[in-house]
Structure 1
Amino acid sequence: MHAALAVSLLAGSIAGALAPSPAAASEAADRAALEALDIRYQAAVKANDAATMAAILHEDFVLVSGRGQISDKAALLEEARAGRTVYERQDASERSVRVWGDTGVVTAKLWLKGRTDGEPFDYKLWYSDTYARTPRGWRYVLGQASLRLPDPP
């Protein structure tokens, strides 16, 4: 009887040690939620969907371009509403999501292709999007984009 109980307790201890901790499960859920939110945000930009962008962007949002240009939430929403840019591509690849408590960072390579005021563009860059957990859920608080990547040879 004691041997069976000891084996049962040992098996339970091993299973418990191998099971993900609640914190790890929560972090995995946060990473999945942030990846989905960032994909949703990129799709909203491509579609010039200012309403979806507004729901995701934090009130104090700031975007810093590779050239140091700073844009806030109002500027991005106005740009989307104006519809001056028509995207053929707004595709992220090599996406990485990291979470530290109530802060998450999504990093990806972005391929942008389309027209602004009729002028074509086609280039790639890297971006890092920082999200903060708020009482209303995750919100996009800071974006930073690299300079345009060189064209492949």
Structure 2
Amino acid sequence: MIMPRTASISLLLLLATLPGFAKDSSDAGLHAALKAQADAWDVAIVKKDKQAIAKNMSDTFFQIGSDGSTADKAQFLQNLTSPDLVIEPYTVEDFKIRLYGNTALINGRTDMHGTYQGKPFRSHYRYTDTYVKEGSVWRVVNVQTTRIAE
């Protein structure tokens, strides 16, 4: 009985040294950093801080909206910072981060309120933000939203 148990322990130790098998202790730190970055981006969006919004985005940024519309970085920035749009502070629920090397998928659920051209709106949706590490900086390259029916 000792041999199979020793072999099992040896196999687990070997597997733990392979990339992707064991959780890297830096994952917790990276999760916290990405969460803070995503939170700061949300604040910048509410404040219409165009520079802070853009700084978090890759030049190759692409958005797919709940209605199937698309926008590149310039269009996204223009839409968010339009004087017609006022977004009230909102919270994100069901926040999750999944790491795949230099790519991070961030998912959540948002219930957003505000006004557009003076008319109130409510947009309840799930989203996926895809971040990619560009050099030493993580930037969002893709955003996709799915509207949740009221």
TM-score (norm 1): 0.79
The count of aligned residue pairs is 131
Which one has more relative contact order, counting CA pairs under 8 Å at least 6 apart?
1
Give yes or no for contact 1:88–1:114 (8 Å, CA) kept in 2. yes
Report the Cα distance in structure 1 between the residues aligned to 2:83 and 2:104, rounded to whole angstroms.
29
Q: Which residue of 1 aligns with 2:149?
A: 150
Q: Which residue of 1 aligns with 2:100?
A: 100
**1:6-56: CA deviation from partner (whole Å, max 9, x where unpaired):** xxxxxxxxxxx9xxxx96122222211111111111111111111101100
Q: How big is the shift at 1:128?
A: 0.5
Report the Cα distance in structure 1 between the residues aligned to 2:122 and 2:101, rounded to whole angstroms.
36
Report the Cα distance in structure 1 between the residues aligned to 2:60 and 2:114, rounded to whole angstroms.
28
Q: Which residue of 2 aligns with 1:55?
A: 55
**Structure 1 runs of 4+ off > 6 angstroms?**
none
Report the Cα distance in structure 1 between the residues aligned to 2:50 and 2:76, rounded to whole angstroms.
8
Q: Which residue of 2 aligns with 1:30?
A: 30
Stretches of structure 2 lacking an aligned partner (at least 5 in a row): 1-15, 17-21
Q: Given residue 111 of structure 1, which amino acid in structure 2 is its aligned partner?
A: D
Give yes or no for contact 1:49–1:80 (8 Å, CA) kept in 2. no
Counting aligned pairs with the same residue, the percent is 25
TM-score (norm 2): 0.80
Instruction: Specify the SS of the correspondent of 1:35.
Output: helix
Q: How big is the shift at 1:142?
A: 0.5
Report the Cα distance in structure 2 between the residues aligned to 1:83 and 1:28, rounded to whole angstroms.
38
1:13-28 maps to which residues of 2 (within 5 A)?
24-28=24-28
1:2-151 maps to which residues of 2 (within 5 A)?
24-147=24-147, 149-151=148-150
Report the Cα distance in structure 2 between the residues aligned to 1:115 and 1:77, rounded to whole angstroms.
17
Larger Rg: 1
**1:110-137: CA deviation from partner (whole Å, max 9, x where unpaired):** 1110001111101310001000001140
Q: Given residue 75 of structure 2, which amino acid in structure 1 is its aligned partner?
A: A
Give yes or no for contact 1:64–1:143 (8 Å, CA) kept in 2. yes
Q: How big is the shift at 1:97?
A: 0.9
Over the residues paired in the alignment, what is the CA RMSD in angstroms?
A: 1.9
